[in-house]
Structure 1
Amino acid sequence: MPIAREIGRRLPFRAAQELFGGNDFLNDYGQVAVDNMKAQQGGKNIFANMMAEAEKGEQLDDLDVKLEATALIVAGTDTTAISLTYLVWAVLSQSSLQKELEQEVAALPDGYRDADLERLPLLQAVIEESLRLYGAAPGMLPRAVPPGGVDLGGYYLPQATTATTQSYSLHRDPNSFPDPDEFIPARWLPSTSKDDKYRISEAAKAVFSPFGAGSRTCAGIHLAYIELRLATAEFFRRMSGVSLAPSATRECMEQENYFLIAPRGHKCEITMKR
């Protein structure tokens, strides 16, 4: 409703301006990112090539760069925070799992690096299982079939058809993930006799797609994994022994999906160890 939004953003009330002017606030943050990039001398980051193209005036202008910066800010903030929120809730819901993870990260050396975290099997398994059940953007990502159409898995899709898939259902297929609604990090661990029935198959790995797949997979996938590893390790090192608050119920954490998921209760409260 663009007319209602245009009227709402002009109302002289802060609440109305925040409600209807969200894009403006985000674009302002994007402009700050672009300005910071311009201020760097010889800096190399994700904006460098975009800025170079904009300066040529061939493909991108300043507005394009600002909008790209805004999109990257949105894509790289709530997504990781959401998955971390659900990871903490899921681990604290299983006391034995919590103790095992706390013991694993407590053994890290002082001044550890991300390479040290990559070698922790339970940490990696907890992150993968969190992304399976609580990937921040589990919905559909539509694509247009190119001119001439395409044969896909024995089905012909005419050109200009909108084709899409989504990870929510794929990640809950019992043929790929036994007991699919249960948080079972052992799926991702090396084979053990107790948990062999949950071990991830090659077919399951093929459909695991919390960051999308193919040529349009998430550009920030590696940064996201680094953030997830570091944040998880630091939380369970510094917050050993915490527990879920009574408010952190399954009902409170039920997924609410508006492209990015969020807990229905909009919170995940924990209780500090006394």
Structure 2
Amino acid sequence: MTLLLVHGLTGGRWGVAAGPILRPLAAMMPLVTVAFVPILASLTSIYPWAADPGSVKPDVASWYLSQPSFILRALVALVGWSVLGVTFAVGAGGRLLAALGLSFFGLMISTVAVDWFLSVEPHYVATAFPAMMAVQQMMAALAVVAMLGTLELEDGAASDIASLIIATLLGVVYLEYMTFVVAWYGDLPHKAHWFLKRSTDPWGAALVVAFAAGAVLPFAMLLLRKTRRSRAGLRIVGVLLLIGTTMHLAWLIVPAFAAQTKVAVTGIGLLVVLTFAAILFGRGTTFAEARRAE
């Protein structure tokens, strides 16, 4: 959705080439709203501030971290993104709506990143976290384009998409690294505790693998012109980025819970189900477009 909004403002051959992949995916935004229903039904099992409002400062709990305000912000984000996703998926959005939509996305990703991710451990804050999540979302979308859309990409468009992947990849790594550096020099106990839980043997290894497979290797491959113009090379880069993104998100979220194995297994299962659903939805949309063209 965000990449379609960006292309609606800037234009470019990359967006034209990536459109057949991006539009069906953007049209799936209403399904994300459906997938969020189990989260709303399990707030007290997921978020400590919902189970025990006394675990955070009273002024914060009563004004921001409360169930009614959390649900309201989630609904505003999901409904707004769904409208934008479907609108631009069918090609009905103009430049003005794209500009307003990007502004809306920037506002709502700031609340969503805090609400859905950071509030799992409400004592930890990171001002760069929302920006990192936004850039990582765009990188993941570009990875899907590289993995699925390379058969339709011309050499010039493929090179443009590879350059965008490099830019978003560097953005994710920079924002994550600077978050760590700021926390390190701040030397604050609550921030140190957040990182210490994620530096144990299994999670430290997971972060190293995510960095190597999802950042270093794709970046090195994309520095080669042959890879940037290779369909097979871009597919490999896309797969590596999605693996790295999945491991990075697991590193961010799973250590916050006591039953880490159950959470990881549940997350992997849901990811598999949503992946197959996305593939079937995309094929169905492509088939419908082909029938209309005939």
More strand by share: 1
Do both proteins adopt the same fold according to a TM-score greater than 0.5, normalized to the shorter chain? no
More helix by share: 2
Higher RCO, Cα 8 Å, sep 6+: 2
Instruction: Give the structure with higher Rg (CA).
Output: 1
Return the TM-score normalized by structure 1.
0.31
